[in-house]
Structure 1
Amino acid sequence: MFRKNLSVFMLASLGLLAVSTAAVAQSSDLAATPPMGWNSWNHFAGKVTDADVRGAADALVSSGMRDAGYIYVNIDDTWEGERDASGVLHTNSKFPDMKALADYVHSKGLKLGIYSGPGPKTCAKYEGSYGHEEQDAKMYAAWGIDYLKYDLCSFTQLMKQQTGDEHSEKAFEMQKVAYEKMHKALVATGRPIVYSLCQYGWNDVWEWGPQVGGNLWRTTGDINDHYDRMEQIGFSQAGLAKFAGPGHWNDPDMLEVGNGGMTDDEYRQHMTLWVILAAPLLAGNDLSKMSPETLAILTNKDVIAVDQDKLGKQGDRVWAEGPKEIWAKPLSGGAKAVALFNRAPDPKAITLKLSDVGFGANAKMRDLWTGKDVTSTNGAYTVLIPKHGTVLLKVSQ
């Protein structure tokens, strides 16, 4: 096992990473609330094109998602072409003019995101940024890019080659240096670019992500459109709340809402868990073919407000009994969002004791999914929740 938390002195003395409070301050100016938008990978994967991205931008506007807060249109892997003799990375035929695409997205009141990684190759074996960090960052800024997802991928091979073990302490330091190098390159461009670290939660990234300039960092491996995987990822986030806040967020991966592999109740649980976690809300579905139910889940303004609350606090588990759980998230103004989760394959009654979340018997409660006020009896609220379902309450005194 690698050491989880080296001291600043040791890092500096090794010459591997100068932990910079300035880097944290610069990053906190971006992503004051968890980023919201859309990413191409979950639906289009390697087939994404310029036309698909323009279509997604159009759909974000026409569906009302932009006005609900979804402003980033993020291109994932497979946009990259080849580098020329000067090292300049060109786009491939699917993306003939990235600057024109950025201009189009910006004309819609949206922002454009892109993808790369610190290794020689991306996950899909396209050109990475290794050895060209400053060059690529300048190119992104010139295009008008607003968000960079930076995926570890082939850099793990370099870590293994240079240290003999990609899980060694030296390999861990290599990883930190690589992420900080791109952060510095982005800052040097003068353009505000949200920086998303994608390295699957290795090495307790939540402990050092802000120090290398990360605005968000993946805390897990990849999600997929199945309840078991979403559940495993989402509920494993308990205990990480103290590492999140304005400008730096834990990222349990993108939303699968609307991709067809879960029921509407399961998607509501997915969305509820993500907003309680103050997670980035990056939709990954085909925006041109959303059902009314999918759109309603993604655009419920009261639910989104929990995620985007200015206090910037991540929620955590406060009670659990078998497959039944209650999580709470502090909100500005002294209120709390309280989520009741049924992880069982059959309906379950769950009782919330208001005292367990810091409120008296006369607290006000509003069900954010139904939009209706609910009341307690002797300081307790009991509700029957369908299998894999959820209730999300806003509780205030």
Structure 2
Amino acid sequence: MVNKSLLRLACIAFFAAVIIGRTSAQQIAATPPMGWNSYNCYGSAVHEDEVKANARYLAKYLKPYGWQYVVVDFLWSYDNPPGSNIGNPFQKNLQDGSFIPWLTMDKWGRLLPQPTKFPSAFGGKGFKPLGDYVHSLGLKFGIHVMRGIPRQAVWAKSPVLGTKGITADMIADTTSKCDWMNHMYGLDMSKPGAQKYLNSILDLYASWGVDFIKVDDISRPYHTAEIEGYHKAIVHTKRPIVLSISPGETPLKDGDHVKKYANQWRMADDFWDNWKELLHMFNYARNWQGMGGPGHWPDCDMLQIGKLSKRGPVGPERYSKFTDNELLTHMTFWCIYRSPLMMGGNMPENRPYDLKLLSNNEVLAVNQTGQNPKELYHNDESMVWYSQVPGSKDIYAAVFNLKNEDSDVSLNLLALGLKGKVTVRDLWAKKNMGSYENTYQQKINKHGAALFRLSAINR
């Protein structure tokens, strides 16, 4: 006879484990992730030695400030021809129905890193050696993946690991295709084996030591079932892996869902070093204000700082086209808004000013600790955002000059709830500016910004 008390306890334990598993996936990324991503400087053509060089730079210069992720972006399974820039494998059917070019893939339909670009992956080792190297520096390792399952796996009818008799063609949704990358099909998550396939690839990534995955072609249009599938697969691994989804614009109507199942999500399409795009980003961020918090962050996209587009993907090789003032605005807004901070430039080529932007501990504290960022006001000439300093009544305030000329910009202290005398500290300069009542005013360069900590005296 079944002991009802033991059965009841077993059920409680089971559901508690499920709840804890779900919760733990959201407990990671308690603060906005900070790191480097290869896309903006190398496109699809990054090589292992370049990833390692950026990892070493991050460990030496930025790890003390909280930077930790090293992320290999897209098409790591594709063999870029020598000297090529960004690659987009055009998969077409041969006479027998097979695909060219053939991406590096195991017998279970799971893509593997191409050994000509990642020599340590030779012999089926995957990204584990590179992940181990990144971890040896005290950092965390991440990869980019495309939503779904490789078309070549569907053609080959690759078996799905962990199932009996289920093959890739039985779980693919061949009507679900990315409109700018043609080597994957979507997954029909209602089909038996679809979740098992996602579990199998996340198990593989976990065995490589992956700490962060950026899943592309999933948030615009918004693929609800597949997003839940990746989340479940991460929980299944029992490894704390950050789930980042892209590209934007993620639909606002799905805000509650994305907060539950992803750790960060793109608000806009790819962001580049253009002042008009920066102005547009303010609008996207305004729409999403109030939605960020521990474990779930609206993402302004990568930092366009330093050396960009060494091998594509957009424009010629260059240092960021942003002026120094615009770079200051760029970094200041990402910090006050609490966006994830993913450096896009090739860091070994950083200029002194680039490093200065990335290594101000007082500024980075705004990104990592500021609470409830909000816009105070905006118009065509200026903008102010603010957040709360945890454990105090102090305020972080970011002031932006949007005009095409240097201008005095005023900060209304009363509107921020600060009465009487207020101490103003300039966080970029790490300098106290004095005490003021009611209003603080400062000249700010064209397209520039300032970031302050405001402390009421005797409050």
After TM superposition, the score normalised by the length of structure 1 is: 0.84
Tell me if the contact between 2:22 and 2:235 (Cα under 8 Å) persists in the aligned partners: no
> What corresponds to 2:3 in structure 1?
none
Q: Secondary structure at the match of 1:48?
A: coil
Aligned with 2:31 (options 30, 33, 47): 33
Q: Superposition pairs for residues 146-165 of structure 1, below 5 Å?
A: 146-152=211-217
Aligned with 1:88 (options 110, 113, 118): 110
Whether 2:404 is the aligned partner of 1:345: answer yes
Whether 2:231 is the aligned partner of 1:209: answer no
Q: Secondary structure at the match of 1:238?
A: helix
Change (3 A) 1:254 1:109: same
Q: Superposition pairs for residues 1-397 of structure 1, below 5 Å?
A: 25-62=23-60, 64-80=61-77, 81-92=103-114, 93-96=116-119, 97=121, 98-120=127-149, 124-125=181-182, 130=187, 131=194, 132-152=197-217, 175-204=223-252, 205-211=254-260, 213-258=261-306, 259-309=319-369, 313-332=371-390, 333-397=392-456
Tell me if the contact between 1:74 and 1:114 (Cα under 8 Å) persists in the aligned partners: yes
Tell me if the contact between 1:367 and 1:392 (Cα under 8 Å) persists in the aligned partners: yes
Tell me if the contact between 1:361 and 1:380 (Cα under 8 Å) persists in the aligned partners: no
Q: Secondary structure at the match of 1:304?
A: helix
State the alpha-carbon separation in 2 of the partners of residues 260 and 317 from structure 1. Answer: 27
Q: Secondary structure at the match of 1:146?
A: strand
State the alpha-carbon separation in 2 of the partners of residues 242 and 36 from structure 1. Answer: 20
After TM superposition, the score normalised by the length of structure 2 is: 0.73
Change (3 A) 1:119 1:316: same
State the alpha-carbon separation in 1 of the partners of residues 279 and 183 from structure 2. Answer: 31
State the alpha-carbon separation in 2 of the partners of residues 35 and 28 from structure 1. Answer: 13
Tell me if the contact between 2:388 and 2:394 (Cα under 8 Å) persists in the aligned partners: yes
Q: CA deviation at 1:365?
A: 1.3
Q: CA deviation at 1:103?
A: 0.4
Change (3 A) 1:21 1:250: farther
The one-letter code matched in structure 1 to 2:27 is D
Q: CA deviation at 1:115?
A: 0.9
When Rg is computed on C-alpha atoms for both structures, the one with the higher figure is 2
State the alpha-carbon separation in 1 of the partners of residues 24 and 136 from structure 2. Answer: 27
Q: Secondary structure at the match of 1:384?
A: strand
Tell me if the contact between 2:423 and 2:436 (Cα under 8 Å) persists in the aligned partners: no
Change (3 A) 1:44 1:314: farther
Q: CA deviation at 1:23?
A: 7.0
Q: CA deviation at 1:374?
A: 1.4
Tell me if the contact between 1:53 and 1:75 (Cα under 8 Å) persists in the aligned partners: yes
Tell me if the contact between 2:247 and 2:270 (Cα under 8 Å) persists in the aligned partners: no
> What corresponds to 2:172 in structure 1?
none
Change (3 A) 1:230 1:23: farther
Change (3 A) 1:129 1:57: farther
The one-letter code matched in structure 1 to 2:68 is I
Q: CA deviation at 1:207?
A: 2.7
Tell me if the contact between 2:372 and 2:387 (Cα under 8 Å) persists in the aligned partners: yes
> What corresponds to 2:166 in structure 1?
none
Q: Secondary structure at the match of 2:397?
A: strand
User: For each residue in 1:317-373, what CA deviation from the matched residue of structure 2 results, as whole angstroms up to 9, or x when unmatched?
Assistant: 102243211111112022211011011111121111211111113122100011111
RMSD: 2.1
The one-letter code matched in structure 1 to 2:38 is S
User: For each residue in 1:267-307, what CA deviation from the matched residue of structure 2 results, as whole angstroms up to 9, or x when unmatched?
Assistant: 01000000111110110111111111110011111100000
Identity of paired residues, percent? 31
State the alpha-carbon separation in 1 of the partners of residues 355 and 225 from structure 2. Answer: 41
Query: Structure 1: 5+ residue runs without aligned partners?
Result: 1-19, 157-165, 167-171
Tell me if the contact between 2:290 and 2:373 (Cα under 8 Å) persists in the aligned partners: no
The one-letter code matched in structure 2 to 1:176 is T
Which deviates more, 104-113 or 352-361? Answer: 352-361
Change (3 A) 1:39 1:129: farther
State the alpha-carbon separation in 2 of the partners of residues 128 and 329 from structure 1. Answer: 42
Q: CA deviation at 1:129?
A: 7.8
Change (3 A) 1:178 1:222: same
Q: CA deviation at 1:84?
A: 3.3
Tell me if the contact between 1:119 and 1:152 (Cα under 8 Å) persists in the aligned partners: no
Tell me if the contact between 1:375 and 1:381 (Cα under 8 Å) persists in the aligned partners: no
The one-letter code matched in structure 1 to 2:298 is N
